[in-house]
Amino acid sequence: MQSKRFFSILTLAIAALAFTTVSFAQETKTETTTDKAVKTERGDKRIGGEWKMGKRGKFGRHGKMRGEGLRGINLTDAQKEQFKALRQANRPSQAFRDEMKAIREAKRAGTITEDQKLRVKALRDEMRAKRKANHEQIMNILTVEQKAELETRRAEMKTRREEMRKRFQDRRNSKPAETAKPIS
Structural domain spans, the chain: 75-170
Specify the pLDDT at position 161. Answer: 95
Amino acid, res. 76 = T
Chain-centre distance for alpha carbon 119: 24
The DSSP-derived string for 83-122 is: HHHHHHHTSPPHHHHHHHHHHHHHHHHT---HHHHHHHHH
The CATH number of domain 75-170 is 1.20.120: yes
What's the whole-model pTM score?
0.51
The DSSP-derived string for 25-47 is: HH-----EE-SSEEE-SS-EEET
The angle, 0 to 180 degrees and rounded to 10, between the axes of the packed helices 114-141 and 77-89 is 170
Q: What's the CA gap between 5 and 146, in Å, rounded? A: 80
Structure confidence by residue, pLDDT tens digits, 29-60 = 554 544 455 555 555 555 555 555 555 554 55
Average pLDDT over residues 78-88: 89
Separation in Å, CA 3 to CA 6, 7, 9, 10, 14: 5, 6, 10, 10, 16
Query: Do 30 and 45 form a contact (C-beta atoms < 8 A)?
Result: no
Give the torsion through C-alpha atoms of 166, 171, 172, 177, to 10 deg.
150
Q: What are phi and psi of 58, to 5 degrees?
A: -80, -10
* Confidence category of residue 65, pLDDT binned at 50, 70, 90: very low
